[in-house]
Structure 1
Protein backbone atom coordinates (compact mmCIF):
# COMPACT_ATOMS: atom_id res chain seq x y z
CA UNK A 1 0.00 0.00 0.00
CA UNK A 2 1.49 3.39 -0.93
CA UNK A 3 1.91 6.41 1.30
CA UNK A 4 -0.93 8.41 -0.26
CA UNK A 5 -3.50 5.69 0.47
CA UNK A 6 -2.24 5.43 4.07
CA UNK A 7 -2.58 9.15 4.53
CA UNK A 8 -6.14 9.12 3.21
CA UNK A 9 -7.15 6.30 5.57
CA UNK A 10 -5.62 8.12 8.52
CA UNK A 11 -7.47 11.30 7.67
CA UNK A 12 -10.78 9.43 7.34
CA UNK A 13 -10.23 7.63 10.69
CA UNK A 14 -9.38 10.91 12.42
CA UNK A 15 -12.47 12.55 10.99
CA UNK A 16 -14.73 9.74 12.21
CA UNK A 17 -13.05 9.80 15.64
CA UNK A 18 -13.63 13.57 15.89
CA UNK A 19 -17.28 13.16 14.95
CA UNK A 20 -17.79 10.48 17.62
CA UNK A 21 -15.47 11.63 20.42
CA UNK A 22 -16.00 15.41 20.38
CA UNK A 23 -19.71 15.26 21.38
CA UNK A 24 -18.90 12.70 24.12
CA UNK A 25 -16.09 14.90 25.46
CA UNK A 26 -18.37 17.95 25.43
CA UNK A 27 -21.04 16.01 27.35
CA UNK A 28 -18.45 14.74 29.86
CA UNK A 29 -17.01 18.21 30.43
CA UNK A 30 -20.51 19.64 30.88
CA UNK A 31 -21.40 16.89 33.36
CA UNK A 32 -18.18 17.42 35.31
CA UNK A 33 -18.72 21.20 35.41
CA UNK A 34 -22.32 20.80 36.61
CA UNK A 35 -21.34 18.26 39.28
CA UNK A 36 -18.44 20.42 40.45
CA UNK A 37 -20.73 23.44 40.67
CA UNK A 38 -23.36 21.44 42.58
CA UNK A 39 -20.76 20.00 44.93
CA UNK A 40 -19.15 23.37 45.64
CA UNK A 41 -22.29 25.42 46.07
CA UNK A 42 -24.93 22.87 47.16
CA UNK A 43 -23.80 19.38 48.27
CA UNK A 44 -20.76 20.42 50.29
CA UNK A 45 -22.59 23.21 52.21
CA UNK A 46 -25.57 20.92 52.83
CA UNK A 47 -23.23 18.15 54.04
CA UNK A 48 -21.40 20.52 56.36
CA UNK A 49 -24.71 21.81 57.70
CA UNK A 50 -25.95 18.26 58.31
CA UNK A 51 -22.67 17.32 59.99
CA UNK A 52 -22.90 20.39 62.25
CA UNK A 53 -26.50 19.56 63.14
CA UNK A 54 -25.68 15.88 63.91
CA UNK A 55 -22.64 16.89 65.94
CA UNK A 56 -24.51 19.49 68.03
CA UNK A 57 -27.91 17.86 68.25
CA UNK A 58 -26.93 14.19 68.68
CA UNK A 59 -23.26 13.43 69.30
CA UNK A 60 -22.53 16.17 71.85
CA UNK A 61 -25.76 15.53 73.88
CA UNK A 62 -25.13 11.78 73.86
CA UNK A 63 -21.52 12.30 74.91
CA UNK A 64 -22.62 14.66 77.70
CA UNK A 65 -25.35 12.19 78.75
CA UNK A 66 -22.90 9.29 78.87
CA UNK A 67 -20.28 11.26 80.78
CA UNK A 68 -22.49 13.05 83.33
CA UNK A 69 -25.52 10.74 83.66
CA UNK A 70 -25.01 7.17 82.47
CA UNK A 71 -21.49 6.69 83.78
CA UNK A 72 -22.32 8.02 87.32
CA UNK A 73 -25.54 5.99 87.38
CA UNK A 74 -23.63 2.86 86.27
CA UNK A 75 -20.96 3.39 88.93
CA UNK A 76 -23.66 3.96 91.56
CA UNK A 77 -25.51 0.80 90.50
CA UNK A 78 -22.29 -1.25 90.56
CA UNK A 79 -21.48 0.12 94.03
CA UNK A 80 -24.95 -0.87 95.23
CA UNK A 81 -24.72 -4.37 93.72
CA UNK A 82 -21.23 -4.84 95.10
CA UNK A 83 -22.13 -3.51 98.54
CA UNK A 84 -25.60 -5.00 98.96
CA UNK A 85 -25.22 -8.29 97.07
CA UNK A 86 -21.68 -9.43 96.32
CA UNK A 87 -20.11 -8.62 99.69
CA UNK A 88 -22.96 -10.29 101.69
CA UNK A 89 -22.89 -13.33 99.40
CA UNK A 90 -19.11 -13.63 99.74
CA UNK A 91 -19.36 -13.28 103.52
CA UNK A 92 -22.20 -15.83 103.58
CA UNK A 93 -20.18 -18.28 101.52
CA UNK A 94 -16.98 -17.87 103.53
CA UNK A 95 -18.53 -17.66 107.00
CA UNK A 96 -21.63 -19.86 106.75
CA UNK A 97 -21.94 -22.08 103.68
CA UNK A 98 -18.33 -23.28 103.54
CA UNK A 99 -18.16 -24.17 107.27
CA UNK A 100 -21.56 -25.88 107.06
CA UNK A 101 -20.43 -27.87 103.99
CA UNK A 102 -17.21 -28.88 105.78
CA UNK A 103 -19.19 -29.95 108.85
CA UNK A 104 -21.63 -31.96 106.74
CA UNK A 105 -18.78 -33.66 104.87
CA UNK A 106 -17.08 -34.46 108.19
CA UNK A 107 -20.31 -36.02 109.48
CA UNK A 108 -20.89 -37.99 106.25
CA UNK A 109 -17.29 -39.16 106.21
CA UNK A 110 -17.41 -40.14 109.88
CA UNK A 111 -20.82 -41.85 109.82
CA UNK A 112 -20.97 -43.27 106.29
CA UNK A 113 -17.79 -43.23 104.20
CA UNK A 114 -15.36 -44.46 106.87
CA UNK A 115 -17.64 -47.29 108.15
CA UNK A 116 -18.42 -48.41 104.60
CA UNK A 117 -14.73 -48.38 103.70
CA UNK A 118 -13.84 -50.39 106.80
CA UNK A 119 -16.74 -52.79 106.13
CA UNK A 120 -15.62 -53.33 102.55
CA UNK A 121 -11.94 -53.80 103.37
CA UNK A 122 -12.39 -56.10 106.40
CA UNK A 123 -15.71 -57.90 105.73
CA UNK A 124 -17.18 -57.65 102.26
CA UNK A 125 -14.00 -58.00 100.22
CA UNK A 126 -12.75 -61.09 102.13
CA UNK A 127 -16.24 -62.65 102.02
CA UNK A 128 -16.47 -61.89 98.29
CA UNK A 129 -13.09 -63.52 97.67
CA UNK A 130 -14.07 -66.61 99.69
CA UNK A 131 -17.47 -66.86 97.97
CA UNK A 132 -15.87 -66.39 94.54
CA UNK A 133 -13.30 -69.11 95.23
CA UNK A 134 -16.04 -71.43 96.53
CA UNK A 135 -18.19 -70.79 93.46
CA UNK A 136 -15.25 -71.44 91.14
CA UNK A 137 -14.43 -74.71 92.98
CA UNK A 138 -18.11 -75.78 92.90
CA UNK A 139 -18.31 -74.93 89.18
CA UNK A 140 -15.33 -77.16 88.46
CA UNK A 141 -16.76 -80.02 90.54
CA UNK A 142 -20.15 -79.61 88.81
CA UNK A 143 -18.40 -79.84 85.45
CA UNK A 144 -16.70 -83.06 86.43
CA UNK A 145 -19.97 -84.49 87.73
CA UNK A 146 -21.77 -83.41 84.56
CA UNK A 147 -19.17 -85.08 82.36
CA UNK A 148 -19.33 -88.29 84.47
CA UNK A 149 -23.15 -88.32 84.31
CA UNK A 150 -23.00 -87.77 80.57
CA UNK A 151 -20.61 -90.67 80.10
CA UNK A 152 -22.82 -92.89 82.31
CA UNK A 153 -25.93 -91.93 80.33
CA UNK A 154 -24.21 -92.61 77.03
CA UNK A 155 -23.00 -96.03 78.31
CA UNK A 156 -26.46 -96.88 79.65
CA UNK A 157 -28.30 -95.82 76.49
CA UNK A 158 -25.86 -97.69 74.29
CA UNK A 159 -26.13 -100.96 76.24
CA UNK A 160 -29.88 -100.59 76.88
CA UNK A 161 -31.07 -99.32 73.50
CA UNK A 162 -28.32 -98.88 70.95
CA UNK A 163 -26.65 -102.27 71.15
CA UNK A 164 -29.96 -104.25 71.07
CA UNK A 165 -31.14 -102.19 68.11
CA UNK A 166 -27.84 -102.71 66.31
CA UNK A 167 -27.94 -106.47 67.03
CA UNK A 168 -31.57 -106.67 65.84
CA UNK A 169 -30.77 -104.78 62.64
CA UNK A 170 -27.64 -106.79 61.95
CA UNK A 171 -28.91 -110.28 62.93
CA UNK A 172 -32.63 -110.14 62.11
CA UNK A 173 -33.63 -107.24 59.88
CA UNK A 174 -30.74 -107.42 57.43
CA UNK A 175 -31.15 -111.16 56.61
CA UNK A 176 -34.94 -110.77 56.43
CA UNK A 177 -34.50 -107.82 54.08
CA UNK A 178 -32.11 -109.78 51.87
CA UNK A 179 -34.53 -112.76 51.80
CA UNK A 180 -37.50 -110.54 50.98
CA UNK A 181 -35.61 -108.79 48.21
CA UNK A 182 -34.32 -112.08 46.73
CA UNK A 183 -37.39 -114.30 47.10
CA UNK A 184 -40.35 -111.90 47.18
CA UNK A 185 -39.62 -108.50 45.61
CA UNK A 186 -37.49 -109.70 42.72
CA UNK A 187 -39.91 -112.52 41.65
CA UNK A 188 -42.86 -110.17 42.07
CA UNK A 189 -41.09 -107.57 39.88
CA UNK A 190 -40.37 -110.19 37.20
CA UNK A 191 -43.99 -111.44 37.31
CA UNK A 192 -45.30 -107.87 37.02
CA UNK A 193 -42.97 -107.20 34.08
CA UNK A 194 -44.13 -110.44 32.35
CA UNK A 195 -47.79 -109.53 32.96
CA UNK A 196 -47.28 -106.06 31.48
CA UNK A 197 -45.54 -107.55 28.40
CA UNK A 198 -48.33 -110.12 27.92
CA UNK A 199 -50.97 -107.42 28.31
CA UNK A 200 -49.29 -105.29 25.63
CA UNK A 201 -49.11 -108.30 23.26
CA UNK A 202 -52.81 -109.09 23.79
CA UNK A 203 -53.77 -105.45 23.27
CA UNK A 204 -51.79 -105.21 20.07
CA UNK A 205 -53.28 -108.50 18.83
CA UNK A 206 -56.85 -107.32 19.51
CA UNK A 207 -56.76 -103.57 18.76
CA UNK A 208 -53.57 -103.03 16.84
CA UNK A 209 -50.56 -100.96 17.72
CA UNK A 210 -50.38 -97.21 18.05
CA UNK A 211 -50.38 -94.93 14.98
CA UNK A 212 -47.02 -94.73 13.31
CA UNK A 213 -45.73 -91.33 12.21
CA UNK A 214 -46.34 -90.54 8.52
CA UNK A 215 -49.43 -92.74 8.05
CA UNK A 216 -52.89 -91.26 7.53
CA UNK A 217 -54.91 -94.41 8.33
CA UNK A 218 -55.68 -95.76 11.73
CA UNK A 219 -55.08 -99.36 12.54
CA UNK A 220 -58.10 -101.58 12.96
CA UNK A 221 -58.53 -105.09 14.26
CA UNK A 222 -55.87 -107.32 12.81
CA UNK A 223 -53.66 -104.41 11.69
CA UNK A 224 -50.77 -105.57 13.80
CA UNK A 225 -47.66 -103.48 13.70
CA UNK A 226 -44.89 -105.54 15.12
Structure 2
Protein backbone atom coordinates (compact mmCIF):
# COMPACT_ATOMS: atom_id res chain seq x y z
CA UNK A 1 0.00 0.00 0.00
CA UNK A 2 1.43 3.32 -1.04
CA UNK A 3 1.31 5.67 1.96
CA UNK A 4 2.79 8.64 0.15
CA UNK A 5 0.43 11.16 -1.37
CA UNK A 6 0.69 11.41 -5.10
CA UNK A 7 0.51 14.79 -6.74
CA UNK A 8 -2.63 15.27 -8.85
CA UNK A 9 -2.06 14.76 -12.52
CA UNK A 10 -2.56 17.79 -14.68
CA UNK A 11 -4.04 17.43 -18.10
CA UNK A 12 -1.89 18.80 -20.90
CA UNK A 13 -2.98 22.27 -21.97
CA UNK A 14 -3.29 23.28 -25.57
CA UNK A 15 -1.81 26.28 -27.27
CA UNK A 16 -5.22 27.97 -27.33
CA UNK A 17 -5.42 27.89 -23.52
CA UNK A 18 -1.89 29.26 -23.12
CA UNK A 19 -2.54 31.97 -25.74
CA UNK A 20 -5.76 33.10 -24.01
CA UNK A 21 -4.50 32.98 -20.42
CA UNK A 22 -1.86 35.75 -20.30
CA UNK A 23 -3.84 38.55 -22.09
CA UNK A 24 -6.99 37.70 -20.14
CA UNK A 25 -5.12 37.83 -16.81
CA UNK A 26 -3.47 41.15 -17.67
CA UNK A 27 -6.78 42.76 -18.71
CA UNK A 28 -8.64 41.35 -15.72
CA UNK A 29 -5.92 42.48 -13.30
CA UNK A 30 -6.04 46.04 -14.69
CA UNK A 31 -9.83 46.06 -14.32
CA UNK A 32 -10.03 44.36 -10.91
CA UNK A 33 -7.39 46.34 -8.96
CA UNK A 34 -9.47 49.60 -8.74
CA UNK A 35 -12.57 47.59 -7.85
CA UNK A 36 -10.72 45.71 -5.07
CA UNK A 37 -9.23 48.95 -3.70
CA UNK A 38 -12.66 50.60 -3.63
CA UNK A 39 -14.13 47.46 -2.07
CA UNK A 40 -11.54 47.42 0.73
CA UNK A 41 -12.10 51.15 1.29
CA UNK A 42 -15.85 50.62 1.52
CA UNK A 43 -15.29 47.71 3.93
CA UNK A 44 -13.14 49.88 6.21
CA UNK A 45 -15.65 52.75 6.09
CA UNK A 46 -18.53 50.35 6.69
CA UNK A 47 -16.83 48.76 9.70
CA UNK A 48 -16.06 52.20 11.14
CA UNK A 49 -19.67 53.35 10.65
CA UNK A 50 -20.96 50.07 12.10
CA UNK A 51 -18.82 50.31 15.24
CA UNK A 52 -19.18 54.06 15.85
CA UNK A 53 -22.61 55.00 14.48
CA UNK A 54 -24.93 52.17 13.47
CA UNK A 55 -24.43 49.88 16.46
CA UNK A 56 -24.91 52.61 19.15
CA UNK A 57 -27.81 54.14 17.21
CA UNK A 58 -29.35 50.70 16.71
CA UNK A 59 -29.07 49.94 20.40
CA UNK A 60 -30.50 53.33 21.36
CA UNK A 61 -33.33 53.22 18.81
CA UNK A 62 -34.29 49.53 18.68
CA UNK A 63 -32.73 47.40 21.42
CA UNK A 64 -33.12 49.55 24.53
CA UNK A 65 -36.74 50.65 23.82
CA UNK A 66 -37.78 47.05 23.17
CA UNK A 67 -35.92 45.85 26.26
CA UNK A 68 -37.59 48.53 28.37
CA UNK A 69 -40.96 47.78 26.79
CA UNK A 70 -40.54 44.06 27.46
CA UNK A 71 -39.20 44.50 30.99
CA UNK A 72 -41.44 47.29 32.29
CA UNK A 73 -44.62 46.88 30.20
CA UNK A 74 -45.05 43.44 28.66
CA UNK A 75 -43.81 41.36 31.61
CA UNK A 76 -45.90 43.19 34.28
CA UNK A 77 -48.89 43.23 31.94
CA UNK A 78 -48.46 39.50 31.26
CA UNK A 79 -48.22 38.76 34.96
CA UNK A 80 -51.31 40.87 35.64
CA UNK A 81 -53.22 39.14 32.83
CA UNK A 82 -52.06 35.74 34.12
CA UNK A 83 -53.27 36.60 37.62
CA UNK A 84 -56.59 37.89 36.26
CA UNK A 85 -56.98 34.80 34.07
CA UNK A 86 -56.29 32.57 37.05
CA UNK A 87 -58.72 34.47 39.27
CA UNK A 88 -61.45 35.04 36.68
CA UNK A 89 -61.24 31.87 34.56
CA UNK A 90 -59.23 29.03 36.07
CA UNK A 91 -60.56 29.21 39.64
CA UNK A 92 -64.26 29.56 38.58
CA UNK A 93 -63.90 26.77 36.02
CA UNK A 94 -62.25 24.52 38.62
CA UNK A 95 -65.03 25.27 41.08
CA UNK A 96 -67.67 24.68 38.39
CA UNK A 97 -66.05 21.38 37.37
CA UNK A 98 -65.59 20.19 40.94
CA UNK A 99 -68.90 21.21 42.55
CA UNK A 100 -71.32 21.20 39.57
CA UNK A 101 -70.19 19.18 36.56
CA UNK A 102 -68.72 16.27 38.52
CA UNK A 103 -71.88 15.59 40.62
CA UNK A 104 -74.06 16.12 37.54
CA UNK A 105 -71.91 13.68 35.53
CA UNK A 106 -72.07 11.11 38.32
CA UNK A 107 -75.87 11.45 38.38
CA UNK A 108 -76.08 11.04 34.59
CA UNK A 109 -73.84 7.96 34.80
CA UNK A 110 -76.04 6.37 37.45
CA UNK A 111 -79.17 7.23 35.45
CA UNK A 112 -77.65 5.74 32.29
CA UNK A 113 -76.68 2.63 34.23
CA UNK A 114 -80.23 2.27 35.55
CA UNK A 115 -81.71 2.78 32.05
CA UNK A 116 -79.27 0.21 30.62
CA UNK A 117 -80.26 -2.31 33.28
CA UNK A 118 -83.97 -1.76 32.46
CA UNK A 119 -83.36 -2.12 28.73
CA UNK A 120 -81.37 -5.32 29.31
CA UNK A 121 -84.24 -6.74 31.35
CA UNK A 122 -86.76 -5.81 28.63
CA UNK A 123 -84.51 -7.39 25.95
CA UNK A 124 -84.03 -10.59 27.95
CA UNK A 125 -87.57 -10.98 29.28
CA UNK A 126 -89.75 -9.51 26.52
CA UNK A 127 -88.02 -8.98 23.14
CA UNK A 128 -86.16 -12.30 23.04
CA UNK A 129 -89.29 -14.54 23.52
CA UNK A 130 -91.30 -12.42 21.05
CA UNK A 131 -88.49 -12.65 18.47
CA UNK A 132 -88.21 -16.40 18.83
CA UNK A 133 -92.01 -16.78 18.32
CA UNK A 134 -91.92 -14.55 15.22
CA UNK A 135 -88.96 -16.54 13.84
CA UNK A 136 -90.83 -19.87 14.36
CA UNK A 137 -93.89 -18.48 12.52
CA UNK A 138 -91.72 -17.19 9.64
CA UNK A 139 -89.98 -20.55 9.33
CA UNK A 140 -93.35 -22.29 8.98
CA UNK A 141 -94.51 -19.80 6.35
CA UNK A 142 -91.24 -20.22 4.43
CA UNK A 143 -91.55 -24.02 4.41
CA UNK A 144 -95.07 -23.78 2.96
CA UNK A 145 -94.00 -21.32 0.26
CA UNK A 146 -91.02 -23.53 -0.67
CA UNK A 147 -93.26 -26.58 -1.14
CA UNK A 148 -95.61 -24.54 -3.33
CA UNK A 149 -92.77 -23.06 -5.38
CA UNK A 150 -91.19 -26.40 -6.44
CA UNK A 151 -94.11 -27.21 -8.75
CA UNK A 152 -94.25 -23.74 -10.28
CA UNK A 153 -90.45 -23.75 -10.85
CA UNK A 154 -90.57 -26.98 -12.87
CA UNK A 155 -93.24 -25.66 -15.27
CA UNK A 156 -91.44 -22.35 -15.77
CA UNK A 157 -88.08 -24.06 -16.43
CA UNK A 158 -89.61 -26.32 -19.18
CA UNK A 159 -91.20 -23.32 -20.90
CA UNK A 160 -87.97 -21.26 -20.79
CA UNK A 161 -85.92 -24.17 -22.22
CA UNK A 162 -88.10 -24.87 -25.25
CA UNK A 163 -89.26 -21.33 -25.94
CA UNK A 164 -85.99 -19.32 -25.36
CA UNK A 165 -82.80 -21.42 -25.00
CA UNK A 166 -83.27 -23.86 -27.93
CA UNK A 167 -84.21 -21.11 -30.50
CA UNK A 168 -81.36 -18.89 -29.30
CA UNK A 169 -78.80 -21.70 -29.73
CA UNK A 170 -80.02 -22.40 -33.28
CA UNK A 171 -79.72 -18.69 -34.22
CA UNK A 172 -76.16 -18.49 -32.75
CA UNK A 173 -74.92 -21.61 -34.61
CA UNK A 174 -76.50 -21.04 -38.04
CA UNK A 175 -76.71 -17.23 -38.29
CA UNK A 176 -74.41 -15.29 -35.94
CA UNK A 177 -71.29 -17.50 -36.29
CA UNK A 178 -71.00 -17.25 -40.15
CA UNK A 179 -71.70 -13.52 -40.06
CA UNK A 180 -69.02 -13.04 -37.38
CA UNK A 181 -66.43 -14.98 -39.38
CA UNK A 182 -67.11 -12.81 -42.45
CA UNK A 183 -66.83 -9.61 -40.46
CA UNK A 184 -63.54 -10.78 -38.89
CA UNK A 185 -62.03 -11.62 -42.31
CA UNK A 186 -62.98 -8.17 -43.67
CA UNK A 187 -61.50 -6.46 -40.58
CA UNK A 188 -58.20 -8.34 -41.02
CA UNK A 189 -57.98 -7.22 -44.68
CA UNK A 190 -58.66 -3.59 -43.79
CA UNK A 191 -56.08 -3.72 -40.96
CA UNK A 192 -53.41 -5.15 -43.32
CA UNK A 193 -54.09 -2.41 -45.86
CA UNK A 194 -53.86 0.31 -43.21
CA UNK A 195 -50.63 -1.23 -41.87
CA UNK A 196 -49.05 -1.15 -45.31
CA UNK A 197 -50.09 2.47 -45.92
CA UNK A 198 -48.94 3.69 -42.48
CA UNK A 199 -45.60 1.84 -42.77
CA UNK A 200 -44.85 3.38 -46.16
CA UNK A 201 -45.81 6.87 -45.06
CA UNK A 202 -43.77 6.48 -41.84
CA UNK A 203 -40.68 5.30 -43.73
CA UNK A 204 -40.98 8.22 -46.16
CA UNK A 205 -41.38 10.73 -43.33
CA UNK A 206 -38.46 9.14 -41.48
CA UNK A 207 -36.07 9.54 -44.39
CA UNK A 208 -37.32 13.03 -45.22
CA UNK A 209 -36.86 14.13 -41.59
CA UNK A 210 -33.43 12.49 -41.39
CA UNK A 211 -32.17 14.11 -44.61
CA UNK A 212 -33.70 17.56 -44.10
CA UNK A 213 -33.33 18.03 -40.31
CA UNK A 214 -31.28 15.40 -38.48
CA UNK A 215 -28.18 15.30 -40.67
CA UNK A 216 -27.86 19.15 -40.94
CA UNK A 217 -28.44 19.52 -37.19
CA UNK A 218 -25.87 16.79 -36.46
CA UNK A 219 -23.33 18.44 -38.75
CA UNK A 220 -24.03 21.85 -37.15
CA UNK A 221 -23.59 20.38 -33.66
CA UNK A 222 -20.44 18.43 -34.53
CA UNK A 223 -18.58 20.92 -36.70
CA UNK A 224 -19.81 24.33 -35.41
CA UNK A 225 -21.39 24.30 -31.96
CA UNK A 226 -18.97 21.84 -30.34
CA UNK A 227 -15.77 23.76 -31.27
CA UNK A 228 -17.38 27.10 -30.37
CA UNK A 229 -18.57 25.62 -27.07
CA UNK A 230 -15.12 24.28 -26.28
CA UNK A 231 -13.58 27.69 -26.99
CA UNK A 232 -16.21 29.38 -24.81
CA UNK A 233 -15.63 26.85 -22.01
CA UNK A 234 -11.87 27.45 -22.13
CA UNK A 235 -12.42 31.20 -22.25
CA UNK A 236 -14.87 31.11 -19.33
CA UNK A 237 -12.59 28.91 -17.23
CA UNK A 238 -9.64 31.16 -17.89
CA UNK A 239 -11.67 34.29 -17.15
CA UNK A 240 -12.84 32.76 -13.85
CA UNK A 241 -9.34 31.72 -12.85
CA UNK A 242 -8.02 35.12 -13.92
CA UNK A 243 -10.68 36.85 -11.81
CA UNK A 244 -9.73 34.80 -8.73
CA UNK A 245 -6.01 35.35 -9.30
CA UNK A 246 -6.50 39.06 -9.98
CA UNK A 247 -8.74 39.42 -6.90
CA UNK A 248 -6.06 37.90 -4.68
CA UNK A 249 -3.29 40.04 -6.23
CA UNK A 250 -5.51 43.12 -5.93
CA UNK A 251 -6.02 42.26 -2.25
CA UNK A 252 -2.28 42.25 -1.68
CA UNK A 253 -1.93 45.50 -3.65
CA UNK A 254 -4.79 47.08 -1.70
CA UNK A 255 -3.21 45.96 1.58
CA UNK A 256 0.12 47.44 0.56
CA UNK A 257 -1.53 50.71 -0.54
CA UNK A 258 -3.46 50.85 2.74
CA UNK A 259 -0.33 50.28 4.79
CA UNK A 260 1.52 52.92 2.75
CA UNK A 261 -1.29 55.45 3.23
CA UNK A 262 -1.48 54.59 6.94
CA UNK A 263 2.25 55.03 7.34
CA UNK A 264 2.14 58.27 5.33
CA UNK A 265 -0.76 59.59 7.44
CA UNK A 266 1.06 58.66 10.65
CA UNK A 267 4.33 60.25 9.51
CA UNK A 268 2.68 63.40 8.08
CA UNK A 269 -0.08 64.10 10.64
CA UNK A 270 -0.05 61.83 13.68
CA UNK A 271 3.63 61.96 14.58
CA UNK A 272 3.91 65.77 14.18
CA UNK A 273 0.72 66.31 16.19
CA UNK A 274 1.96 63.90 18.87
CA UNK A 275 5.38 65.64 18.93
CA UNK A 276 3.74 69.09 19.17
CA UNK A 277 1.43 67.86 21.96
CA UNK A 278 4.27 66.17 23.85
CA UNK A 279 7.02 68.78 23.43
CA UNK A 280 5.08 72.05 23.12
CA UNK A 281 1.52 71.88 24.38
CA UNK A 282 2.20 69.75 27.47
CA UNK A 283 4.98 72.04 28.90
CA UNK A 284 2.98 75.13 28.01
CA UNK A 285 -0.06 73.63 29.70
CA UNK A 286 1.98 72.78 32.79
CA UNK A 287 3.37 76.33 32.91
CA UNK A 288 -0.11 77.84 32.50
CA UNK A 289 -1.44 75.48 35.16
CA UNK A 290 1.33 76.32 37.65
CA UNK A 291 1.57 80.07 36.98
CA UNK A 292 -2.02 81.02 36.14
CA UNK A 293 -4.64 78.43 36.93
CA UNK A 294 -3.48 77.30 40.37
CA UNK A 295 -2.95 80.89 41.71
CA UNK A 296 -6.28 81.89 40.22
CA UNK A 297 -7.92 78.88 41.88
CA UNK A 298 -6.30 79.71 45.22
CA UNK A 299 -7.42 83.34 44.89
CA UNK A 300 -10.94 82.21 43.99
CA UNK A 301 -11.05 79.87 46.98
CA UNK A 302 -9.81 82.70 49.29
CA UNK A 303 -12.41 85.08 47.88
CA UNK A 304 -15.04 82.40 48.39
CA UNK A 305 -14.04 81.89 52.02
CA UNK A 306 -14.07 85.66 52.65
CA UNK A 307 -17.49 85.97 51.03
CA UNK A 308 -18.86 83.06 53.09
CA UNK A 309 -17.45 84.60 56.31
CA UNK A 310 -18.93 88.00 55.43
CA UNK A 311 -22.31 86.41 54.69
CA UNK A 312 -22.19 84.47 58.01
CA UNK A 313 -21.36 87.69 59.91
CA UNK A 314 -24.18 89.51 58.14
CA UNK A 315 -26.66 86.72 58.98
CA UNK A 316 -25.53 86.78 62.64
CA UNK A 317 -25.94 90.61 62.77
CA UNK A 318 -29.43 90.34 61.29
CA UNK A 319 -30.34 87.59 63.78
CA UNK A 320 -29.12 89.72 66.74
CA UNK A 321 -30.96 92.79 65.47
CA UNK A 322 -34.18 90.77 65.12
CA UNK A 323 -33.78 89.39 68.68
CA UNK A 324 -33.18 92.91 70.09
CA UNK A 325 -36.26 94.23 68.28
CA UNK A 326 -38.39 91.36 69.66
CA UNK A 327 -37.15 92.08 73.23
CA UNK A 328 -37.90 95.81 72.79
CA UNK A 329 -41.43 95.15 71.59
CA UNK A 330 -42.53 92.15 73.66
CA UNK A 331 -40.09 92.05 76.56
CA UNK A 332 -38.01 89.15 77.84
CA UNK A 333 -39.58 85.73 77.28
CA UNK A 334 -40.75 83.93 80.45
CA UNK A 335 -38.46 81.28 81.90
CA UNK A 336 -40.05 77.82 82.41
CA UNK A 337 -40.53 76.83 86.08
CA UNK A 338 -38.73 73.77 87.33
CA UNK A 339 -41.11 71.14 88.83
CA UNK A 340 -39.74 68.90 91.53
CA UNK A 341 -40.83 65.42 90.56
CA UNK A 342 -38.75 63.76 93.25
CA UNK A 343 -36.99 61.63 90.73
CA UNK A 344 -33.36 60.67 91.01
CA UNK A 345 -31.00 62.70 88.94
CA UNK A 346 -28.64 61.19 86.54
CA UNK A 347 -25.65 61.68 88.85
CA UNK A 348 -27.24 59.81 91.82
CA UNK A 349 -27.32 56.05 92.01
CA UNK A 350 -29.85 53.81 93.68
CA UNK A 351 -28.95 51.99 96.90
CA UNK A 352 -30.74 49.52 99.13
CA UNK A 353 -31.86 52.31 101.49
CA UNK A 354 -33.44 54.51 98.78
CA UNK A 355 -36.62 53.91 96.81
CA UNK A 356 -38.79 55.79 94.33
CA UNK A 357 -42.04 53.88 94.75
CA UNK A 358 -45.18 55.59 96.07
CA UNK A 359 -45.18 53.52 99.29
CA UNK A 360 -41.62 54.25 100.36
CA UNK A 361 -41.37 57.99 99.47
CA UNK A 362 -40.29 60.29 102.31
User: TM-score, structure 1 length as denominator?
Assistant: 0.49
Query: Greater relative contact order (Cα 8 A, min sep 6): structure 1 or 2?
Result: 2
User: TM-score, structure 2 length as denominator?
Assistant: 0.34
